[in-house]
């Protein structure tokens, strides 16, 4: 495990133990809010983002930070995604955390010129730690891994419909879902991406593609040999395309191609 990986792991552990878990199943009603569109935020999200930001500032003084909650409070923060920056989801899976259920985790990425260069995924309850650096492979707990499909027929798909408009949702149900064995949506990218590489899921669809949800996971999955890209044109995921919708992630390029083809032939 590299020096930076050990430092990020220590930071995630510290914030989990001292900030996040003390609030787990211990939230008052007034400590949970809705940012709009059934998108909850808790006091723990804000406390975690502050603690993570403080720790990351010590690791790379002056490097701009794009945190989910900071960007929600001030959308101008998103402009930082065009240059070198940290990207932080202080509690990925807030919906689960707020209801007292797993999974939830911490996502951190380092990006430059709109492209993730490093990414880390920490599961707050199990301690699973995934790390990736561009061109250097994907790791779980310090051991390099290669993505493996489930081997099932039909392939196992986690298809998120929650941010799609009504027409697209109906088209997905009628023309795509029937070709896969559907599995649960964990409402947590920190869980979904590991499932795709570790033989639990084959393919997943995301409509909303915000940087803090996907920067670390897309890089880690691709470094493991999977594929995460825009289905309409096959272009790689970029963190500075924050308004762009649609992303397919899969355990293998072939599984990605199959799903992208189905999506691109949906009726208008």
| Residues 139 and 162 grouped into a single domain | no
**Residue 163 pLDDT level (bands cut at 50, 70, 90):** confident
Q: Is 151 a member of any domain?
A: no
User: Could you read off the pLDDT of 78-117 as tens digits, one per residue?
Assistant: 999 999 999 999 999 999 999 999 999 999 999 999 999 9
Query: Considering 126, 145, 164, which residue would you say is the last residue of a domain?
Result: 145
| Residues 141 and 161 grouped into a single domain | no
Residue 55 and residue 33: Cα distance in Å, rounded?
26
The total domain count for the chain is 2
74-83: long-range pairs with CB below 8 Å, 24+: 78/242, 81/111, 81/114, 81/211, 81/239, 81/240, 81/242, 82/113, 82/114, 82/240, 83/112, 83/113
User: Could you read off the pLDDT of 246-259 as tens digits, one per residue?
Assistant: 999 999 999 999 99
| Residues 130 and 172 grouped into a single domain | no
Neighbours of 177 (CB within 10 A): 16
- Please state the residue numbers annotated as binding site: 68, 89, 91-92, 213
Query: Considering 113, 145, 177, which residue would you say is the last residue of a domain?
Result: 145
Query: Considering 115, 145, 175, which residue would you say is the last residue of a domain?
Result: 145
pLDDT of 268 > 70? The answer is no
User: Could you read off the pLDDT of 228-247 as tens digits, one per residue?
Assistant: 999 999 999 999 998 999 99
User: Could you read off the pLDDT of 30-64 as tens digits, one per residue?
Assistant: 999 988 767 889 999 999 999 999 999 999 999 99
| Residues 235 and 112 grouped into a single domain | no
| Residues 73 and 183 grouped into a single domain | no
**Domain span including residue 93:** 3-145
- Please state the residue numbers annotated as binding site for Mg(2+): 68, 89, 91-92, 213
| Residues 139 and 161 grouped into a single domain | no
Asked if residues 43 and 69 have their Cβ atoms less than 8 Å apart, the reply is no
| Residues 39 and 164 grouped into a single domain | no
């Amino acid at each position: 495990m590299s020096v930076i990986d050990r430092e990020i792991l220590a930071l995630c552990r510290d914030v989990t133990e001292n900030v996040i878990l003390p609030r787990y199943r211990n939230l008052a009603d007034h400590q949970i809010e809705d940012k709009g569109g059934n998108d909850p935020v808790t006091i723990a999200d804000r406390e975690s983002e502050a603690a993570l930001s403080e720790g990351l500032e010590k690791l790379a003084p002056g490097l701009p930070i794009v945190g989910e909650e900071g960007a929600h409070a001030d959308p101008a923060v998103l402009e930082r995604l065009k240059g070198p920056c940290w990207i932080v989801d202080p509690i990925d899976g807030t919906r689960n955390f707020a209801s007292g259920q797993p999974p939830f985790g911490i996502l951190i990425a380092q990006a430059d010129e709109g492209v993730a260069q490093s990414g880390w995924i920490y599961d707050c309850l199990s301690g699973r730690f995934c790390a990736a650096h561009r061109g250097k492979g994907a790791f779980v707990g310090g051991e390099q891994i290669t993505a493996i499909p489930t081997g099932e027929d039909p392939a196992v798909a986690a298809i998120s419909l929650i941010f799609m408009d009504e027409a697209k949702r109906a088209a997905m149900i009628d023309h795509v879902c029937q070709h896969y064995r559907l599995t649960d949506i964990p409402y947590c990218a920190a869980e979904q991406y590991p499932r795709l590489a570790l033989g639990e899921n084959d393919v997943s669809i995301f409509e909303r593609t915000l940087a803090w949800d996907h920067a670390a996971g897309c890089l880690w999955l691709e470094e493991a040999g999977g594929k995460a890209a825009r289905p309409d044109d096959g272009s790689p995921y970029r963190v500075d395309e924050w308004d762009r919708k649609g992303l397919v992630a899969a355990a293998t390029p072939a599984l990605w191609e199959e799903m992208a083809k189905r999506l691109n032939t949906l009726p208008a």
